[in-house]
Amino acid sequence: DAKTTQPPSMDCAEGRAANLPCNHSTISGNEYVYWYRQIHSQGPQYIIHGLKNNETNEMASLIITEDRKSSTLILPHATLRDTAVYYCIVRAPLNTGTASKLTFGTGTRLQVTL
Partner 1 sequence: DGGITQSPKYLFRKEGQNVTLSCEQNLNHDAMYWYRQDPGQGLRLIYYSQIVNDFQKGDIAEGYSVSREKKESFPLTVTSAQKNPTAFYLCASLTGDGYTFGSGTRLTVV
How many angstroms separate the CA atoms of 3 and 71, rounded?
A: 13
How far is residue 51's CA from residue 109's CA, in Å, rounded to a whole number?
24
Q: How far is the CB of 33 from partner 1 (least distance, A)?
A: 11
Residues 52-81 interacting with partner 1 (rule: CB under 8 A)? none
- Residues in contact with partner 1, counted by CB under 8 A, come to a total of 22
> Which of residues 18, 20, 34, 84 is near partner 1 by CB under 8 A?
34
* Residue 62 CB, nearest approach to partner 1 (Å): 13
41 binds partner 1 (CB under 8 A): yes
Across the chain, the runs of DSSP E, i.e. the strands, are 9-13, 18-23, 32-38, 45-50, 55-56, 61-64, 70-75, 84-91, 108-113
Positions that interact with partner 1 (CB under 8 A): 34, 36, 41-46, 49, 87, 93-95, 99-107
